[in-house]
Structure 1
Amino acid sequence: MTINGDPAGFWSYTHRDDEIEDGRIRRLARKIANEFEGITAEELDVFIDKKDIKWGDEWRKRIDSALSGVMFFMPIVTPRFFKSEECRREILTFAGHAKSLGLEELLLPILYFNVPQLKEPDPSDEVVALVAQRQYEDWTKLRLEDEDSPEYRKAVSRLATRLVEILERTADIEPPPVILADDADIDDEPGMLELMAGAESALPSWADVVEQFGDTASKIGERLVLADAEVKASDARGGGFAGRLRIAHALAEDLKEPVDKMGQLGHQYSADLLAVDPGILGIIRLIEAEGISEENEAQTAEFFNTVKTTADQIRGMVQSARETSESLNGISSLSKSMRPLVRKMRASLQQIVDGQAVLDEWERRIDEVSGMSEGA
């Protein structure tokens, strides 16, 4: 077959996973690329090493050129993958672009080590949910096979064939119309100004959720400081481990409600952000393609400014979320009753951190589009 454009695959994985697998993850990428070339007589450029500047350059170029319909993103899914902020950022960035273009199939996860959360009916982690929704390749048993065994080679061939089939299906897909939540009741297809107005109206609600999240986190922080003072006072009185345990149990009871609220707010923020992400990217792409007319120049500048201002406001919250997450390290050791609460808090904080990756991508694309307009 002949493929329009130069197909490329971007491999996303943690280097530690590859190390403990003695390089098998990187070799799997090469084997799939070789099999793809054998089937199609077309080379599949595989970008593996994210430390190589070419990885980042090609990533941005292909993302910005609407994926060209021939860019695969293949995350190697493991428990460590979901703990990697870099890996989470990459998959969220790609997913938004792919959905805005109707090319979700180009996201092809490979489950390498078992991740029990993927089997949950409604995962609270938005990145886990994103992978669970995809038709991922299960490699948990195949990774144990000898790389030269018939079973392993057949599996590589099946996966390469699936890539070819995906390319054939997505070759002529047209980007779907840009739809935002506020457009649902509009009979006629909204114009550019209506789309920008709808996007702008959504941004303050996210900022409000983040503000509520920050207030809740502050209340939790105040209670933690109080508990620390109580522990010191108890130790001074000779309360020993019994005194510490009593304080830990009281702390766990006091934190249940605010931690649950933090979880709800974190989930609401990330869910809303990921739902509207394809629409925002679609608007930016439309502006890039159609240009900015003189009559729309002021509204477009206002739209860009609103997006960037919101992203900047939330950036401070992200830094605070990182610091709060790091401060939780010693709390879980107080009592086993604290461990589930600490896990919930960490998961909620991670959702705020993840959201910044989406906002950063909006800012990056806006800067590029604005730069093109200024240079025109």
Structure 2
Amino acid sequence: MANLNGFWSYAHKDDDAEEGRITELARKLVREFELLTGDDISLFIDRDNLEWGNVWREAINGQLSTVAFFVPVLTPMYFQSAECKRELETLLDRAEGSMQSGIVLPILYADFRGTIVEDSESELIERCKALQWVDWTTLRLEEPSSAVYRAAVSKMAQRLVAANKELEEALNDAALTGGDVVVEDDDGEPGTLERMAEMEEALPEMGGTLREIGHKAEQIGQIMKATVENNKVKLQKSFAGKLAVARMLAVELEKPSTDFLDLTAKYSNELRAVDGGMQALIDQSADQITNEENQAAVADLFDSVIDFARKARNNLDQTEAIQEPFQAMSKLSRELRVPLRRVEQSVRQIAGGVEITDSWVKTLDERGFLEQLAIERPEWLEATNPAR
């Protein structure tokens, strides 16, 4: 096997907290794999690097036979990252039920059980467990030079070597016999047209959901403001008065906060449906951008993508604005903490959505499309992607 790629999916904040031990583990695994096989592995460890995105798309949209391994490093922070979850879900969708499932090697790096609250995250966890994740929660505390640590790295490499060998033998047998080998479940995987159709259907509805989220955030803010304004005397007189106001506010916010959480969950699901189609659209537009007749249509498409990403960012600003005063008021009574948790979870889901919509615009920028079509770069992009 030649020209193999290895993908290491992790939360950068975790690696910072571990002083680089997570990325060093990736390099140790690659070196051990190369030692056991004699193959060279191209390690893709930084998703902020443009090359990661290009190779990732090629691997996912084509055959996965060029991928030696995909290792998601599971932690609470990992499941707070929309980008990490998207990578994991995409790869699982492609590999599950096929002979290539063995190349997916989840590492339980920090025990997150008990911290996951979203059904979609619970489902991903169960899918990872079904692939027999490697428990690293204790091993991460060992010295990398220790025998127990090195043995564990070698064991992971041996498992990946065996999975790659099994896949290679199946492919070779199919080539010799003229038969077919099922390495991917194409029956359930949407093609480009299906993804684009999903996007066309979901995008207008998602825009409507964003507006609903904004209205609900405004309603919650108005309820908090009105309650404080109408009960100034009680809030100033006694602790009993403050407690009464806090309980009143908790009752008034019960339904709006529940509705708010339901809306952001709906938005998160819609966004996942749109994302695959958006990536397909961007890839297809690359072939059209050199055609002068199509440039205006492509420019309009990219402008709409940027506009949607801007609206998503504005929506996040609006929801974050109600979170801070809510946190301060929740200290008045534990009964306010329930609606507060709903608001906080909603904000996390919206922030995760912004990561995805931002990634669309970053991809357009990194591939030079904005410059080619003389489209103005959004102001917020400068902070994350300095001008090329």
SS at match of 1:76: strand
Give the 5 Å matches for 1:45-84: 45-46=42-43, 56-63=49-56, 65-66=58-59, 69-70=66-67, 74-82=71-79
Q: What is the match of residue 30 of structure 2?
A: 33
Alpha-carbon separation, structure 2, partners of 1:177 and 1:361: 28
Q: Deviations over 1:218-253 (max 9, x none)?
A: 1111111233335642243x2x21111111111111
Q: What is the match of residue 4 of structure 1?
A: 3
Q: 1:363 to 1:80 in 2, by over 3 A?
A: closer
Which ranges in structure 1 are unaligned for 5 or more consecutive residues?
A: 181-188
Give the 5 Å matches for 1:296-307: 300-307=298-305
Give yes or no for contact 1:273–1:355 (8 Å, CA) kept in 2: yes
Tell me the TM-score normalized by structure 1: 0.74
**Match for residue 257 of structure 2 among 256, 259, 277:** 259
Q: 1:323 to 1:46 in 2, by over 3 A?
A: farther
Q: 1:110: how far off?
A: 2.0
Q: Deviations over 1:279-337 (max 9, x none)?
A: 33233334436877677666555544443332232221122233333443323312111
SS at match of 1:10: strand
Alpha-carbon separation, structure 2, partners of 1:271 and 1:344: 17
Q: 1:28 to 1:4 in 2, by over 3 A?
A: closer
Alpha-carbon separation, structure 2, partners of 1:199 and 1:362: 13
Give yes or no for contact 2:79–2:85 (8 Å, CA) kept in 1: no
Alpha-carbon separation, structure 2, partners of 1:197 and 1:295: 23
Q: 1:127 to 1:372 in 2, by over 3 A?
A: farther
Q: 1:274 to 1:138 in 2, by over 3 A?
A: farther
Moved more, 343-352 or 301-310: 301-310
Q: 1:94: how far off?
A: 3.1
Matched, 1:124 2:121: no
Q: 1:199 to 1:61 in 2, by over 3 A?
A: closer
Give the 5 Å matches for 1:196-345: 196=196, 199-229=199-229, 232-236=232-236, 238=237, 240-288=238-286, 300-345=298-343
Which ranges in structure 2 are unaligned for 5 or more consecutive residues?
A: 172-182, 375-388
Give yes or no for contact 1:32–1:157 (8 Å, CA) kept in 2: yes
Alpha-carbon separation, structure 1, partners of 2:78 and 2:89: 19
Q: 1:356: how far off?
A: 1.6
What one-letter code is carried by the residue in structure 2 that aligns with 1:203? L
Q: 1:218 to 1:291 in 2, by over 3 A?
A: closer
Q: 1:197 to 1:234 in 2, by over 3 A?
A: same
Moved more, 261-270 or 170-179: 170-179
Q: 1:140 to 1:196 in 2, by over 3 A?
A: closer
Tell me the TM-score normalized by structure 2: 0.72
Aligned pair count?
348
Give yes or no for contact 1:259–1:344 (8 Å, CA) kept in 2: yes
Matched, 1:155 2:148: no
Give yes or no for contact 2:109–2:136 (8 Å, CA) kept in 1: yes
Q: 1:197 to 1:41 in 2, by over 3 A?
A: closer
SS at match of 1:247: helix
Q: 1:242 to 1:223 in 2, by over 3 A?
A: same
Alpha-carbon separation, structure 1, partners of 2:153 and 2:328: 44
Q: 1:96 to 1:230 in 2, by over 3 A?
A: same
Alpha-carbon separation, structure 2, partners of 1:266 and 1:372: 34
Give yes or no for contact 1:12–1:76 (8 Å, CA) kept in 2: yes
What one-letter code is carried by the residue in structure 1 that aligns with 2:110? F
Alpha-carbon separation, structure 1, partners of 2:44 and 2:369: 29
